[in-house]
Amino acid sequence: MSTNQNTDTIYGINPKTGDRLDPGFPAADAARVDALVADAVAAYQRYRATSGPDRADLLREIAMQIEALGDELITVCDAETALGPVRIASERGRTVNQLRMFADLVEEGSWVDARIDTAIPDRKPLPKPDIRRMLAPVGPVVVFGASNFPLAFSVAGGDSASALAAGNPVIVKAHGSHPGTSALVGRAVSAAVAQCGLPAGVFAVVHGPGSVVGSALVKHPGVRAVGFTGSRGGGRALMDLAAARKAPIPVYAEMGSINPLIVLPHAVAHRGVAIAEGLAGSVCLGVGQFCTNPGLILAVEPAGSEAAPADSVSSGGAAANPGTAGATAAFVSRLAATMEAQGPGVMLNRSIASTYCEMVARFASAHGVVTHTGARSQDAGGCAPSQPDGAGATQAAGAGPDGYATVHPALFSVSADVFVQSPLLAQEVFGPATLVVRCADATDVTRCLAVIGGNLTATFHGDDEDFAGYADLVRVVEQTVGRVIFNGFPTGVEVCASMTHGGPYPASASEFHTSVGTGAILRFARPVSYQNCPPPLLPAEPQDANPRGITRIVNGAYSRDPVA
Ligand code: NAP
């Protein structure tokens, strides 16, 4: 569990103080899990038959019910996560916009990808049958909310919205870090389900330890797919559980990512300071608690650059771009100074803060690694792992001056040769930390990329002079990630039709899918073909008359017309 508490009752913990937040929420037992899945299976038969416009009504009603929670949602969520009212209000906006985006998608209806190949009875040597295909719901989906997005990737977040939009009942395993927020949003969703006259089994929230309640749900034969956002360990455990079932099911897990950011030589020489300042903001945004946080900076030294000795680089910072000589050193120096200036921040929970501090300490003591800022992360009070959750920071032995889950930004650098030989340094440090790897050329960058595996994103900072010589590197990088960003920063994921938020393993369990944007619905639908189906038995979408007016592929051509 992410919080240390009685497994019969789940309480939120204020990450600023360590105080327990009432009320507690009873953890589900095995009988409750069985009952919830049975309800979802029963509701599925009714819900799968609803039309796109019916599901759009539900999604819009959910959005309205969440908005109607008003300030109570902000207050409860802030107490549980310390994310702050401004960020939480903005995340609430993203959450309801996602719900409305999926409402628009299923109301329009073409997402079902209907394809019609009409019969050719006199084809030789064999007649061609009439075949019609469309995407259909899969059945009850279990969603594991993420700690770092208590609204947009939680109870009514993108996984739940896309699964409901596709016609599947949803059971959410609430994250133990924000049970009160989960309960509030869960009530809003259930109110919307009732308001739309749908069976209650269409949606449920359940509390309890992942290792007990979450595992039981994933193993339950009535469950047909899983959506997950969180740690690599958690995601992988659920993938293995699902694969070991008698009937395996897909787990769409979005897991850790270090999001390499590649700074090319012309850019580092001519605008390295500006890049460093923007990068510091991205690394420290939200106390670094984003899956798109840039955790690895591959900085290519300009030709002729006098690379400063690693230990000569201080956090004092150079104010101006130095040109070619010492460009990478100046970049690192400015990055360190700007990160340090961001100051400490409160993480989502004690466990995440402790893991962050442990990882910072391991990086700091690793062979060949230079620490530019972040020494305080190792001795900050928030990093003392001995303090029990819920005790209250002021009462607990071991609490330091910085508070219960408070951490500091950390910046390290290392040579490419050391990096490729240190598996530790390729691990995600979830929080406001990053590692600069000093690369001589594109070959060094490629060597580094080869040891880190799949990622959600990769970012290039480069000028025209750079890209002329590094085009091949772009072709290499695009094979390792779901999204390539140019002269920007990976934090901040636009929710739209063209977004890919996923990537080759271990960034996600399926590199063929995205968990953000309208494409996320495709995780929770499967193709069904109807061969020589009597017309009255066809669903609406592939019928000759095209009653939904959707775009279809008819005998190889896109069309909205009825079949003649
Ligand atoms: P997590 O530990 O993976 O937990 C996410 C959800 O999965 C929780 O509901 C958890 O339940 C459940 N779970 C975890 N392991 C499980 C298992 N073996 N069997 C069944 N259920 C399981 O993620 P987190 O609590 O959000 O954060 C922990 C760490 O994950 C962070 O320190 C960070 O390294 C990483 N993280 C990464 C991202 C990302 O987007 N890349 C986001 C958030 C966190 P319980 O808590 O009840 O066990």
Q: How many Å lie between the centroid of ligand 1 and the Cα of residue 146?
A: 7
Q: What was the pLDDT predicted at 305?
A: 61
Nearest atom in ligand 1 to the alpha carbon of residue 290 is 40
Write the single-letter amino acid at 296.
L
Catalytic: 383? Answer: no
Residue nearest to atom 40 of ligand 1 (CA): 291
* Residue 246: both structure tokens together: 């008698």
Q: What was the pLDDT predicted at 328?
A: 92
Residue nearest to atom 11 of ligand 1 (CA): 210
Residues 251/218, Cβ–Cβ less than 8 Å: yes
Residue nearest to atom 26 of ligand 1 (CA): 147
Residues 260/437, Cβ–Cβ less than 8 Å: no
- Ligand 1, CB within 6 Å, residue ranges: 1-2, 144, 146-148, 173, 175-176, 209-211, 214-215, 229-231, 234, 237-238, 255-257, 291, 352, 355, 428, 430
Which of the residues 107, 254, 301, 428 is marked catalytic?
A: 254
Q: How many Å lie between the centroid of ligand 1 and the Cα of residue 2?
A: 7
Nearest atom in ligand 1 to the alpha carbon of residue 241 is 19
Residue nearest to atom 6 of ligand 1 (CA): 144
* pTM of this prediction exceeds 0.75: yes
Q: 303 CB contacts (<8 Å, ≥6 apart)?
A: 265, 324
**CATH class, range 260-486:** alpha beta
Superfamily of domain 9-255+515-522: Aldehyde Dehydrogenase; Chain A, domain 1 (3.40.605.10)
Nearest to 400 by CA among 374, 371, 377: 377
Q: How many Å lie between the centroid of ligand 1 and the Cα of residue 235?
A: 7
Q: How many Å lie between the centroid of ligand 1 and the Cα of residue 451?
A: 24
Are the folds of 9-255+515-522 and 260-486 the same? Answer: no
Catalytic: 108? Answer: no
Q: What was the pLDDT predicted at 403?
A: 65
Which of the residues 291, 357, 439, 448 is marked catalytic?
A: 291
**ω into residue 125 within 30 of 0, thus cis?**
yes
Spatial separation of the C-alpha atoms in residues 305 and 322, rounded to whole Å: 10
Q: How many Å lie between the centroid of ligand 1 and the Cα of residue 340?
A: 28
Q: Would you list the domain boundaries of the chain? A: 9-255+515-522, 260-486
Q: 374 CB contacts (<8 Å, ≥6 apart)?
A: 360, 364, 408, 409, 410, 411, 412, 433
Spatial separation of the C-alpha atoms in residues 460 and 475, rounded to whole Å: 12
Nearest atom in ligand 1 to the alpha carbon of residue 10 is 47
Q: How many Å lie between the centroid of ligand 1 and the Cα of residue 375?
A: 26
* Residue 325: both structure tokens together: 């000589």
Q: 393 CB contacts (<8 Å, ≥6 apart)?
A: 16, 17, 18, 19, 381, 387, 399, 403, 404
Q: What was the pLDDT predicted at 3?
A: 42
Kindly give the confidence (pLDDT) of every residue in the chain, 564 residues in length, as a single tens digit, with 9 standing for 90 and above.
344 445 799 999 999 999 999 999 999 999 999 999 999 999 999 999 999 999 999 999 999 999 999 999 999 999 999 999 999 999 999 999 999 999 999 999 999 999 999 999 999 999 999 999 999 999 999 999 999 999 999 999 999 999 999 999 999 999 999 999 999 999 999 999 999 999 999 999 999 999 999 999 999 999 999 999 999 999 999 999 999 999 999 999 999 899 999 999 999 999 999 999 999 999 999 999 999 999 999 999 988 664 444 433 444 444 456 565 589 999 999 999 999 999 999 999 999 999 999 999 999 999 999 999 986 655 544 454 444 444 443 222 223 345 689 999 999 999 999 999 999 999 999 999 999 999 999 999 999 999 999 999 999 999 999 999 899 999 999 999 999 999 999 999 999 999 999 999 999 999 999 999 999 999 999 999 999 999 999 999 999 999 999 999 999 999 999 998
Spatial separation of the C-alpha atoms in residues 433 and 426, rounded to whole Å: 13
Q: What was the pLDDT predicted at 307?
A: 45
Residues 140/169, Cβ–Cβ less than 8 Å: yes
Spatial separation of the C-alpha atoms in residues 411 and 391, rounded to whole Å: 32
Using most ligand atoms within 8 A of CB, pick from 147, 206, 212 the residue to mutate for ligand 1: 147
Diameter of the chain measured on Cα atoms? 85
**ω into residue 536 within 30 of 0, thus cis?**
no
Residue nearest to atom 30 of ligand 1 (CA): 231
Nearest to 145 by CA among 161, 166, 126: 161
